[in-house]
Chain A
Amino acid sequence: MGVQMPHPALELQGLTRMYGEFLAVDHIDLAVERGEIFSLLGPNGSGKTTTIKMIMGLLKPSSGSAMVLGLDCFSEHPQVMARVGYMPDEPAFYDFLTGAETIMFVGEMHGISRRDSLAKSRPLLDQFELADAAGEYAVNYSRGMKKKLALICALLHDPDLLLLDEPTSGLDPFATRALTSMISALAESGKTIFFSTHILEQAEKISTRIGILHKSKLAAVGKLNELRAATSSNSSLEEIFFLVAAKAEHEE
């Protein structure tokens, strides 16, 4: 057994987080392999954003650990950040930089020259129809445009893992389709996508594996057919979600 198994793209071991007395995330164990599209579902307040923030190193876990490609998210933060692309739920940018300048700045901070950043972002800007607005100050962007800009910034440095927090909220159907097809293409080329959402239909369509958070605990995790088998129902993800929630409630 001389060959070492490659590290999973994302590994959460007993990840816990308390806000004072309130338990926001309760001992999550999860492993996302490379090339997977993993979606984390759950109602508001179930701990999705907190989990993602802990993976990003913005919050320190109360106990447990989050590892990206074998690197600890909290203590080896800079190395993790070089391999992760993050798109927050409500991105905010520097008011007085234009979209293009923001992209150049982010590229430079990741070690990519300005010319390369602009070149890489051009097809993305076109696809997301931001090309015209790229010369406008970011303060004047609408919410959807800010999300698109954040997504482009997250992709600049070819990350191995994409962390998306509610990626499609605020996007119009064209942008949503562009995003979902891009996610699939990235997964095929070996990148891992981890996103949180509460739009169940989208999760159903594109994810390879699904995790359901209910009241800070990971109530169920697995491929869609596994979940169907576990809840012995042949229906849509929506029904499965409510069944899982009911079961978790019952077990408390």
Chain B
Amino acid sequence: MTAPHFEPDEIEKAVPLEDHERRIVSEFHVLMILARTGLRRFANAYFAKFTHPVSSGSSTSSRRPTSRRRSISLRLLSGIVVLFFFSVYALLITKMTADVSWLAQQSVSGRILLQPEVHRAVHKCYDEMHHLHDRRTANEISQAGFEEEKGKLLQRVDSLLRNSGLPSDPGDWTELQRANFARAMDAFKNLKSDGLWESTSWAYRGSEVFVAWAPPFDRLAAKAMSLFLLMGFVACLLTSLASVNKDVGGLGWIYEWLFTMPISPRSLMLARVFEAGFLNTFAYLYMLQVIVISLWFAGWSWLSIPVGIAMLILLNAFLGSLCVLSETYLRMHLSPAKLRNLNALIALSGVLVTMVAYASPIAAPIAQLAVSCAGLLPDIVLALPTGLPILLGVQAVSPYLTIGAAIATICCLSYLCVSQAAQLVSGGYVAATGLYQGSRLPQKPIAGVGFLRGAAWKEKTLLLRDRALLVTAIGLPAVMIGYNLLIGAAALSKLTDDFARMAALAFGVGSFSLLFGAANVLALEARTMWLVFSFPSSLRAFFFRKAAFWAVLSCLFTALVLTTGVLLSPTSDVLRTVALSFFALSGVVVLALVAVGFSLIATNFDPSSPAKNAHNDLGFIFMMLLAEYGGSFFLPNMSGTLILLVLLIILVYALWQKSSDTLPYLLDPTELPPPALYLTDGILAVIAFFFLQALLQMLFALFGTGAAASIVLGYAMAGLIVSSVTLFILVRRRIPGFWTVIGLPSLAPREPLHKPGSLFGKQLVISRPCHREAVVNALGTGMVSGILAATVAGVYLFTVNCIPVCRDGIHEYLEQAGTRGIDSAWFAVLAVLLAPIVEEFLFRGLLFKGFLKTMSLPVAVAASAAVFAMVHPPVSMIPVFGLGCAAALAFHRTGLLMAPIVAHFTYNGLIVLFSNLLV
């Protein structure tokens, strides 16, 4: 390779420009290009979440089609989820609009409220009256007959109105009610439908909101809905602003780069309008629904969808222009540090408003509040850009006028905003107060040397100075409390009733602050990870200190809420209060460690783009654990919480055990740690099993199956679901030697048969020759261990049976174990046959093997047996512990999963025998 060398003219000859003309692209073209690029960036960012790094451990090229297939199915799934959420929300907003409409009519006080059936009856009477008049006109009925029928109908309507909507004693009626009653009767007599419907009102119920003859969507309702639209608009504006300024240096750089192209500032601003206004998902989720559904209620039926979309486009344009103007103004006048802090405030308010908007269909008080506010505000609210789409629904105003006004106002305002923004940057895009350019600034005082050292000091200092982090980690949990109280205004009294609720709230608040601090540990350290690597301490120690810091911080929150609870309602049950407080605090500490642990085992970590790392695949699991633990506070006794706490502690151990394998690959862009079976898989499966079992049991009980049957069914189904899902996930991970580790070598697939299209690209061959001796050995060992365990259990049961207090508990257990009280045979099959297989797979195959990775054999046996015993009813814990140990030992000796399964069968069979003997 010789040194590169260019001849003069060579470049020009290679890329000739016709007539050496400098091309300037038209503004419209620029807009199209920038808009298309913006859309492409948005789509790429969204879909980037569904591509996974390809593990270099495999050498088969068949991996590539699989991973692409996987990402397509994930995208489809996400699309379905989004659609589902969209439709659910549409229904909720429909209900909200109905509520608002009704409330608005109610507040035009004095209207006679009719129940839906009554309303229908009145409507029917009205139709009959109409029909009667027609018959009279056609001379089908005599005048006398006519008067008689009319009298009957009037009497019926009279009684309907009196009985349903008005106080029983006419003396209690208000003036307005009297007037409305007279008006209604008069309208009925003279067939004036407007008069009738303007004096009555009706209460919606469920599906009736879709009935065609809805009451007129009057001005008050329109004002209230426009307030909701305004709220949605403000939420979109704030979140757009916040997201734009998040990466302070980043966006500025992009803009400076775009400015070097031959485009005018105005085109650039217009392109930003498109990005900020139209690529905002909340607008489509909330604002579009509000507009369309309001118009539907106003009687536009199917036209409301295209009209609504058109109005949304106008609104989005305005939103985008406001956004662009604000962000340009802010960036020109604030330094990066100040901008970041202001951004934190904007983000917080944005989240607040968004959450209130999300809550508005669910929380009835918000609809009431909106209607009351609408009553106080002048009609001019409807003339705002956010009111105009709703104004279309008010029948008194001409739609053409409204649409014309909407287009005119919004276009004018948007044009003004964009021109102003362009004018702001006309003096140069780079702000004067930009990056440090060498100006002499006064020395900032060095942060005081407190009792904190090293990493803890750094965390504290950064937390206090980085307003964005401070707001999300501390401000948001505080907001969440208020938000939850808003959702259920009566919640405060309910909270002080039962300390369990207070403890749950305390735990929720504390762990919520973890979501932004501990769960985001990697994202926060993304860019400075190189510095962390250069310290002479292990990464795990560093992250452990981080976890400790966040645990302490979140505990402060929890402690605050707990003390408030104790002070507000001192209870006499001190023991319970102390226990609940302990669970709340320890839950927060353990979850902090879990959150950081999850961050540590994440593998698609990219230090150059911190935004991408905020999306943590395991964040979803973390939230589930959070909900599970918080929910367990509401169970009658605290054993569930205790068990969950112990399981979570084991999960912490498992995560930090796994991290020692995954941490060396943290900054590795292409390599992944070799796939292996870890304790985390086992313990997460057990936690899921534990939770699902309780959930299904509850569901079955709700559906009316007997108590014992629902326990068995719940157990069996939970086991089946969890095992199949876990197996599926683990098989896809393509762990080498997976089936052998699990103890099912006969299920291991043969060499790949180059047949695409078969399951996972390989053929599963079930009947691989397995040594007869090994099988016989396994059977034998299994049976022996089963018999031993059953003997121990029998001795224990016999001993305990002598103590009368425990006898009932034993009988209950034996009943369940002996499958009594269960109706059909196949329940028994489920209990006796399925449970052992599933349990052995989870507890011995996964959990025991996971423990064995870092613990010695006796400890691993004891630990897996202890977990096994924990998830069983207390009366049977000791025998089950014995079974667990025996099964684990059998598994270890033979290496086949058949052994513990056989042990379990034997044990179950013998227990059934015992139960029939004893009872």
Residues of A within 8 A of B22 (CB): none
Q: Which of these binds chain B: A4-12, A33-41, A55-63?
A: A55-63
CA distance A173 to B435 in the complex (A): 22
Residues of B within 8 A of A145 (CB): 436
Residues of A within 8 A of B466 (CB): 95-96
A88 at interface by CB-CB < 8 Å: yes
Closest Cβ neighbor of B56 among chain A residues: A20
Given known contacts A20-B670, A92-B528, A93-B531, A101 and B454 CB-to-CB distance under 8 angstroms: no
A97 at interface by CB-CB < 8 Å: yes
Check B443 against A140 for contact (C-beta < 8 Å): no
Check A135 against B443 for contact (C-beta < 8 Å): yes
Check A132 against B446 for contact (C-beta < 8 Å): no
Distance between A146 CB and nearest chain B CB, rounded to angstroms: 10
Check A78 against B537 for contact (C-beta < 8 Å): yes
Q: Which of these binds chain B: A104-112, A177-185, A205-213, A228-236?
A: A104-112
CA distance A239 to B665 in the complex (A): 39
Check A86 against B534 for contact (C-beta < 8 Å): yes
Given known contacts A20-B670, A81-B534, A94-B458, A142 and B528 CB-to-CB distance under 8 angstroms: no
Interface residues of B in 409-462 (CB under 8 A from A): 435-437, 440-444, 446-447, 449, 453-455, 457-458, 461-462
Check A58 against B538 for contact (C-beta < 8 Å): no
Distance between A59 CB and nearest chain B CB, rounded to angstroms: 6
Residues of B within 8 A of A135 (CB): 441-444, 446
Check B535 against A101 for contact (C-beta < 8 Å): no
CA distance A180 to B308 in the complex (A): 68
Residues of A within 8 A of B482 (CB): none
Distance between B373 CB and nearest chain A CB, rounded to angstroms: 40
Check B447 against A109 for contact (C-beta < 8 Å): no
Closest Cβ neighbor of B248 among chain A residues: A139
CB < 8 Å neighbour of B534 from A20, A56, A60, A96 = A56
- Best-surrounded residue of A98, A134, A246 (most CB of chain B within 10 A): A98
Q: Compute the total of residue contacts between A and B using a CB distance below 8 Å.
A: 121
Check B668 against A96 for contact (C-beta < 8 Å): no
Distance between B674 CB and nearest chain A CB, rounded to angstroms: 11
B527 at interface by CB-CB < 8 Å: yes
CA distance A92 to B250 in the complex (A): 14
CA distance A238 to B577 in the complex (A): 78
Check B669 against A19 for contact (C-beta < 8 Å): yes
Given known contacts A95-B466, A242-B2, A142 and B534 CB-to-CB distance under 8 angstroms: no
Binary interface profile of A, 52-95, with partner B (CB < 8 Å = 1, else 0)? 01001111101000000000001001110110111010011111
- Best-surrounded residue of B454, B528, B530 (most CB of chain A within 10 A): B530
CB < 8 Å neighbour of B530 from A19, A85, A86 = A86
Interface size of A by CB at 8 A reads 55
B218 at interface by CB-CB < 8 Å: no
CA distance A98 to B810 in the complex (A): 68
Residues of B within 8 A of A136 (CB): 436, 441, 444
Given known contacts A18-B56, A96-B461, A140 and B435 CB-to-CB distance under 8 angstroms: yes
CB < 8 Å neighbour of A60 from B446, B465, B668 = B668
B667 at interface by CB-CB < 8 Å: yes
Check B436 against A60 for contact (C-beta < 8 Å): no
Main SS class of interface, B: loop
Check A82 against B536 for contact (C-beta < 8 Å): yes
Interface residues of B in 537-571 (CB under 8 A from A): 537-538
CA distance A154 to B449 in the complex (A): 23
Distance between A42 CB and nearest chain B CB, rounded to angstroms: 13
Given known contacts A91-B530, A145-B436, A101 and B667 CB-to-CB distance under 8 angstroms: no
Interface residues of B in 204-223 (CB under 8 A from A): none
Distance between B347 CB and nearest chain A CB, rounded to angstroms: 16
A100 at interface by CB-CB < 8 Å: yes
Distance between A63 CB and nearest chain B CB, rounded to angstroms: 12
Residues of B within 8 A of A111 (CB): 536
Residues of B within 8 A of A153 (CB): 531
Distance between A122 CB and nearest chain B CB, rounded to angstroms: 13
Check A109 against B454 for contact (C-beta < 8 Å): yes
Distance between A249 CB and nearest chain B CB, rounded to angstroms: 5
Check A142 against B449 for contact (C-beta < 8 Å): no
A245 at interface by CB-CB < 8 Å: yes
CA distance A114 to B465 in the complex (A): 20
Residues of A within 8 A of B447 (CB): 101
Check B461 against A88 for contact (C-beta < 8 Å): no
Given known contacts A94-B528, A135-B441, A140 and B668 CB-to-CB distance under 8 angstroms: no
Residues of A within 8 A of B531 (CB): 91, 93, 106, 153
Check B1 against A245 for contact (C-beta < 8 Å): yes
Interface residues of B in 65-101 (CB under 8 A from A): none
Check B457 against A98 for contact (C-beta < 8 Å): no
Given known contacts A78-B538, A249-B1, A58 and B461 CB-to-CB distance under 8 angstroms: no
CA distance A56 to B437 in the complex (A): 33
Check B667 against A59 for contact (C-beta < 8 Å): yes
B575 at interface by CB-CB < 8 Å: no
Residues of B within 8 A of A94 (CB): 458, 462, 528
Residues of A within 8 A of B436 (CB): 133, 136, 140-142, 145
Q: Which residues of B contact A (CB under 8 A)?
A: 1-3, 54, 56, 335-337, 340, 435-437, 440-444, 446-447, 449, 453-455, 457-458, 461-462, 465-466, 527-528, 530-531, 533-538, 664-665, 667-671
Instruction: Jot down 30 A-B pairs with beta carbons below 8 A, ordered by A.
Output: A19-B669, A56-B530, A58-B667, A59-B668, A59-B671, A60-B671, A62-B671, A78-B536, A81-B535, A82-B536, A92-B528, A92-B530, A96-B461, A97-B465, A98-B444, A101-B447, A104-B446, A106-B531, A106-B535, A109-B455, A135-B446, A136-B436, A139-B336, A140-B436, A142-B435, A142-B437, A145-B436, A153-B531, A242-B3, A245-B1
Q: Can you list the 10 inter-chain pairs with the closest CB atoms, starting with the nearest?
A: A82-B536, A135-B443, A92-B527, A140-B436, A96-B465, A109-B535, A81-B536, A19-B670, A108-B454, A135-B444
